[in-house]
């Protein structure tokens, strides 16, 4: 009967180590996942803000041109510029998990392309220029 007790304790030992390893791995995964998620969130948030800023800047330039010469752009282009302005204002910057973000951004991109094409300008959002890997910056 003593032999059974020896085997029971080794089985229990294996199970205890398994549970301990699982628990440690789970905790490590939570910490690592949070850190990775934060880094991805910062990157995506920065890129989104950058793109919104680009469109907002274009809207400001176009609105300034309209103030100088109200007949500079057609009524249809002016209406599309106003719609773009509304989309930028409606963008839920402080609520990135809002389900409408993708739809709003796609609408903004579409309207931007329409205005650019109508005005005959070749503007395109390409993102912030990346520094060269060996530049030291």
**Residue 86, domain member (yes or no):** yes
28-54 tens-digit pLDDT: 887 778 888 888 888 888 888 899 999
**Residue 98, domain member (yes or no):** yes
User: Which DSSP string corresponds to 31-45?
Assistant: HHHHHHHHHHHHHHH
**Residue 127, domain member (yes or no):** no
Q: Are 87 and 104 a contacting pair, CB within 8 Å? A: yes
**Residue 16, domain member (yes or no):** yes
> Which pLDDT belongs to residue 114?
94
Q: Are 103 and 82 a contacting pair, CB within 8 Å? A: no
The residue-averaged pLDDT of 89-103 equals 86
With cut-offs at 50, 70 and 90, classify the pLDDT of residue 10.
Answer: low
> Which pLDDT belongs to residue 3?
53
**Residue 7, domain member (yes or no):** no
Instruction: Using alpha carbons, select from 33, 31, 53 the residue that is nearest to residue 41.
Output: 33
Q: How many CB atoms lie within 10 A of CB 125?
A: 14
**Residue 2, domain member (yes or no):** no
**Residue 103, domain member (yes or no):** yes
**Residue 17, domain member (yes or no):** yes
Tell me, yes or no, if the pTM score tops 0.85: no
> Which pLDDT belongs to residue 100?
86
As for how many domains the chain has, the answer is: 1
Domain holding 85, by residue range, is: 12-119
């Amino acid at each position: 009967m003593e032999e059974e007790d020896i085997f029971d304790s080794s089985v229990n030992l294996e199970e205890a180590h398994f549970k301990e390893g699982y628990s440690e791995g789970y905790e490590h995964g939570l910490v690592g996942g949070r850190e990775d998620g934060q880094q991805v969130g910062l990157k995506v948030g920065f890129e989104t803000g950058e793109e919104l800023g680009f469109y907002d800047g274009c809207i400001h330039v176009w609105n300034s041109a309209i103030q100088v010469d109200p007949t500079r752009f057609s009524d249809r282009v002016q209406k599309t510029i106003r719609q773009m302005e509304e989309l930028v204002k409606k963008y839920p910057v402080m609520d990135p998990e809002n389900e409408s973000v993708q739809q709003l951004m796609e609408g903004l991109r579409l309207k931007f392309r329409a205005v650019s094409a109508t005005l005959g300008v070749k503007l395109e959002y390409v993102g912030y220029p990346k520094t060269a890997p060996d530049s030291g910056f």
